[in-house]
Amino acid sequence: MPTDLAAYQDRAARLDTADLDFTEFERRPLNDDALRCLRYMHDVENHTVCYLRDLLLTAAHKDPAITSFLTFWNFEEFWHGEAIASVLAAHGENGAERVSAMRHRLGWKDRMGPLAHLTGSALAGESFIAIHMTWGAINEWSTQAGYARLAARAQHPLLSELLHRIMRQEGRHIEFYASEARERLEADPRARRLTRFALKRFWKPVGATVMPSPEVRFLIRYLFEGADGQAMTRRIDRRIDRLPGLRGLALVDSAVKSTAA
Ligand SMILES: [Fe+2]
Ligand SMILES: [Fe+2]
């Protein structure tokens, strides 16, 4: 077993929120913008299992280290969704209804997911895993940055505490995805070429393919416009630059600019 996987498996756990008093939100509710942002994050965290369905159709399922990671990753993302649902519930909103509504709303997009992944995997072969690991690293970097920006913007101590706990787990997802991506890209020139191509051609901000466009635009503007937001997107781009074969893409910065426009 790779050491990064052993370390991750040892620490993977349900997000601990037992000591957090969510009724605090009834006394001091979040503002409308922060709540709108949390609805997006809730829906996307809860969509992880559907994304996993698509991934398991690809070459990723052949590698036991990857499937072990994905098992715990999916479990942890589920509890992130549940924790955010508790925040929404304290504001009188029903998270479970949102999850069901989203899956019904997706329609053909949901049916295209398996086909797109199968096609990508058939074309890329083993290199598909490098694409997937790189994609995962970028999405986890973006997600962690999004939570950090929401904590900074909402200025609510209880929300900040919850988001920082989620961010610590996203940090462990990052460690796994990024180290796998680095190794696989380093070892395989074809994987470097295909990953660079796939990112340039298909990468979109997390949730952009499954959430309604006005919500994507709102979230990107709310979290990533302005000097602090831009510093965050550029930091992610510098991390991508350090992966083998991916220098100079300016992926996140340009995606944020075109989404917000
Ligand atoms: Fe998460
Ligand atoms: Fe994550």
CATH number at residue 150: 1.10.620.20
Question: Is 13 within the bounds of a domain?
Answer: no
Question: Is 15 within the bounds of a domain?
Answer: no
Mean pLDDT of the chain: 94
Q: What is the dihedral of CA 62, 102, 255, 117, to 10 degrees?
A: 20
Question: Is 236 within the bounds of a domain?
Answer: yes
d(CA 157, CA 227): 23
d(CA 30, CA 99): 21
- What pLDDT was estimated at residue 116? 86
Helix axes 213-224, 226-241, angle to 10 degrees: 100
Question: Ligand 1 mean position to 77 CA, how many Å?
Answer: 4
What average pLDDT does the segment 93-99 reach?
91
Q: Does 125 have pLDDT greater than 90?
A: no
Report how many domains make up the chain.
Answer: 1
d(CA 187, CA 38): 39
Contact 222, 40 (CB under 8 A): no
Percent of the chain whose pLDDT exceeds 70: 99
Residue 103 sits in which domain range? 22-260
- What pLDDT was estimated at residue 3? 65
Looking at the CA of 174, name the nearest ligand. Answer: 2
DSSP 20: -
Question: Ligand 1 mean position to 26 CA, how many Å?
Answer: 24
What average pLDDT does the segment 221-237 reach?
95
Question: Is 40 within the bounds of a domain?
Answer: yes
d(CA 131, CA 96): 32
* 37-47 pLDDT tens trace: 999 999 999 99
In this structure, which residues have their CB less than 5 angstroms from ion ligand 2? 140, 170, 173
Question: Is 95 within the bounds of a domain?
Answer: yes
Looking at the CA of 171, name the nearest ligand. Answer: 2
DSSP 205: S
Q: Does 32 have pLDDT greater than 90?
A: yes
Question: Is 8 within the bounds of a domain?
Answer: no
What average pLDDT does the segment 145-162 reach?
98
- What pLDDT was estimated at residue 44? 96
pLDDT class for 1, splitting at 50, 70, 90? low
Question: Is 7 within the bounds of a domain?
Answer: no
- What pLDDT was estimated at residue 107? 79
Question: Is 107 within the bounds of a domain?
Answer: yes
d(CA 170, CA 185): 22
